Amino acid sequence: MKALVFTTYGNPKEVLKFTEIEKPIPKENEVLIKVKSTTINDYDWSLVRGRPKLYQLMFGLFKPKHTIPGMELSGIVEEIGSKVTMLKVGDHVYGDISELGFGTFAEFIAVNEKTVKVKPPELSFEQAAAIPHAGLLAYQALDKLEENQKVLINGAGGGVGTIALQIAKHHNCFVTGVDSQAKSQMMKDLGFHHVIDYKQTDFTKTGEQYDFILDCKSKKSAFSYLKALKPKGTYVSVGGDLTKLIGILFWGKVLSLFNKKKLEILALKPNQGLEELNSRFSIKSYIDGPYKPEEIPGLIQYFGEGKHKGKIVINF
């Protein structure tokens, strides 16, 4: 089978190569999946480059432990292990496999049956691949969102932001989206009530305050975000600059002792609540693509530069 393989960290366009490798054989608790669609995520951007350096402690200090990137998929079960009980051959499945590994940038993958769910029939393979990771980041982050709140989403034009918008509007919230000018028209078309170009306006310095801030691109100090929160407001980060995230984690705990504003970082629970997300909100992901597998190295770079709109999807 063909897979996108890398053996050293570096520029995605230089180190990722399509390679013919052995088709995996599922272990007793695994299923072999024919990959139909996959996506690109922050982990892929960090995994391939080995940056920030701290990530090499997880991914492999001198060379990658996981040589095939990719963590999200939809596909068809082709074979099952002897102890598999929840799935059968022919099932259409989807999920985020990052809890147990990587490897979805390939024609086939063998994964523990617990890392995927049966795909709802109303979802296309493209839509199904685009929802598990971004959808659950949004869903778990907005778990305590209340009706009619004033919400801001930073990095709103990506996969998480476009899904978070749908959840927030389900709660009748007024939603402001922050992203690049290039994404502003798409964001307006999707239904954001107000759109901010981050290059022109720093939302933490406008004097506006919000009940809830969902940040997909944390790049400021904890104190900057506090200024943009109402007295009982909540800030949740789902990703961003590692040093800023550490500061938010530390100061969030300290500052919570003195006021009712909350600064939190979401620890994603992969696939937890996936069925409820789809049944409760009828989520539809904004698809950037679908693209071809050979385009993946350039698409990882495209993702890292923040140019994508919604979720980048690749069909195998």
pLDDT by residue, tens only, the chain of 316 residues:
999 999 999 999 999 999 999 999 999 999 999 999 999 999 999 999 998 887 788 788 889 999 999 999 999 999 999 999 999 999 999 999 999 999 999 999 999 999 999 999 999 999 999 999 999 999 999 999 999 999 999 999 999 999 999 999 999 999 999 999 999 999 999 999 999 999 999 999 999 999 999 999 999 999 999 999 999 999 999 998 878 888 898 887 887 777 889 999 999 999 999 999 988 888 999 999 999 999 999 999 999 999 999 999 999 9
What residues contact 233, with CB distance under 8 A and at least 6 apart? 209, 210, 211, 212, 213, 261, 262
* Superfamily holding 134-265: NAD(P)-binding Rossmann-like Domain (3.40.50.720)
CATH of domain 2-131+285-315: 3.90.180.10
The DSSP bridge partners found for residue 178 are 154, 196
2-131+285-315 and 134-265: identical CATH topology = no
With CA atoms as reference, report the closest residue to 119 among 110, 107, 127: 127
Q: Report pLDDT for 170.
A: 96
Contact by Cβ (8 Å): 76, 36: yes
pTM score of the predicted model: 0.94
With CA atoms as reference, report the closest residue to 24 among 74, 60, 78: 78
Q: How many CB atoms lie within 10 A of CB 57?
A: 8
First-to-last C-alpha distance (Å) of the chain: 12
| Domain residue extents for the chain | 2-131+285-315, 134-265
Complete DSSP assignment for 273-286: THHHHHHHH---PP
Find the helix or strand (DSSP H, E) in which 138 lies.
Answer: helix 132-141
With CA atoms as reference, report the closest residue to 195 among 176, 172, 216: 176
